[in-house]
């Protein structure tokens, strides 16, 4: 696709498509984090990456904790198999802070670089705010990696408004921007709009990277239509939104999404993703995952149309109970 308007990540020169690909599911079930997903073989991973690229996606988000490097290696291999060269796509990964201190950041960076070889680390993020050093120490270590040209830019993930601001201030002193905060955000979880994260990101020029944008599949409507699928939903079925009361609470929103999907002749997931990438202007980019080719193709379809202002606002009103 040639007409997808790229967006700038924060105050950087990284230009990304509104939708990227989250790569947690490439973990190969290698560690506890990897057990959340089925074991995708290399051929399927290559296909998912290829379909994403064909749909216009130009960036990919992975992490150290996703299989202890298994996802990073699988992503790099799939990008190479698709004929991509370093510099032709944007790659983001993350440092896992628990139970570590900031001194671990420079000690492990070469492992991350080797796992993603030959693709450079365009964006390196602190994965959680629960490290054994505070965010200022972590940002000082990240700044050194930028100066050494081991990474290009710095981001954070799951950081509160206060910790995000502290991180931004620490980097600013060294002339380095904090460009992203990767957080859970969807029509079924709009808490970042009421806890200060979105407002602070807008104030400081930090892009929000939204993960779990389909609320682990609930926004597709499949669990409302086929409640027998709940038994196959693994750990998710224990969460409140998957329980009967949660499904009843989200049903009016799901019905509106279905109505709009018919109106625009797209899928329900397309509607949910399109709202995310347009309601706040260019402030939000999104990283849905995919465990099959059809899901990867479906994700990219959300960039091929735009909800009207009236419909964006209608979904806003319907989902305000989830702020």
Cis ω for the linkage preceding 68 (within 30 of 0): no
Q: Is 60 within 8 Å of 23 (Cβ atoms)?
A: yes
Q: Indicate the helix (H) or strand (E) that contains 220.
A: none
Q: If you write DSSP's letter for every residue of 2-63 in order, what string do you get?
A: --PPPEE-TTSS-EE-SB-EE-GGGSTT-STGGGGS----HHHHHHHHHHHHHTT--EEE--
- Tell which residue, 279, 219, 230, has the closest CA to residue 255: 219
Active-site entry in 66, 124, 153, 211? 66
Phi, psi angles (nearest 5°) of residue 258? -65, -40
Q: Would residue 153 show up in a list of annotated catalytic residues for this protein?
A: no
CA distance 179 to 263: 36
Q: Give dist(CA 97, CA 127) in Å, integer.
A: 7
Buried b (16+ CB within 10 A) or exposed e, 119-128: bebbbbbbbb
Residues carrying an active site annotation: 66
């Amino acid at each position: 696709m040639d007409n997808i308007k790229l967006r700038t990540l924060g105050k950087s020169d990284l230009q990304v498509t509104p939708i990227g690909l989250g790569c947690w599911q490439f973990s190969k079930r290698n560690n506890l984090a990897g057990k959340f997903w089925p074991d995708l073989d290399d051929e399927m991973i290559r296909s998912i990456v290829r379909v994403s690229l064909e749909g216009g996606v130009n960036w990919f988000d992975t992490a150290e904790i996703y299989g202890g490097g298994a996802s990073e290696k699988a992503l790099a291999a799939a990008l190479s198999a698709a004929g991509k060269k370093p510099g032709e796509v944007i790659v983001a990964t993350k440092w896992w802070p628990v139970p570590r201190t900031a001194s671990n950041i420079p000690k492990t960076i070469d492992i991350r670089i080797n796992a993603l070889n030959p693709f450079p680390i365009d964006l390196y993020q602190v994965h959680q705010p629960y490290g054994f050093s505070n965010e200022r120490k972590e940002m000082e270590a990240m700044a050194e990696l930028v100066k050494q040209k081991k990474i290009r830019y710095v981001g954070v993930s799951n950081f509160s408004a206060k910790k995000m601001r502290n991180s931004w201030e620490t980097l600013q002193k060294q002339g380095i921007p904090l460009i992203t905060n990767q957080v859970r955000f969807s029509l079924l979880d709009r808490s970042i709009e009421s806890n200060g994260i979105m407002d602070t990101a807008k104030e400081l020029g930090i892009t929000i990277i939204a993960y779990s944008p389909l609320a682990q599949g609930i926004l597709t409507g499949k669990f409302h239509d086929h409640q027998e699928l709940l038994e196959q939903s693994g750990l998710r079925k224990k969460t409140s939104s998957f329980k009967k009361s949660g499904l009843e609470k989200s049903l009016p929103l799901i019905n509106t999404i279905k109505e709009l999907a018919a109106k625009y002749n797209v899928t329900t997931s397309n509607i949910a993703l399109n709202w995310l990438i347009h309601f706040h202007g260019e402030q939000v980019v999104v990283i849905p995952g995919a465990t099959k080719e059809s899901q990867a193709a479906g994700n990219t379809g959300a960039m091929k149309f735009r909800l009207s202002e009236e419909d964006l606002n209608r979904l806003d009103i319907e989902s305000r109970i989830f702020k």
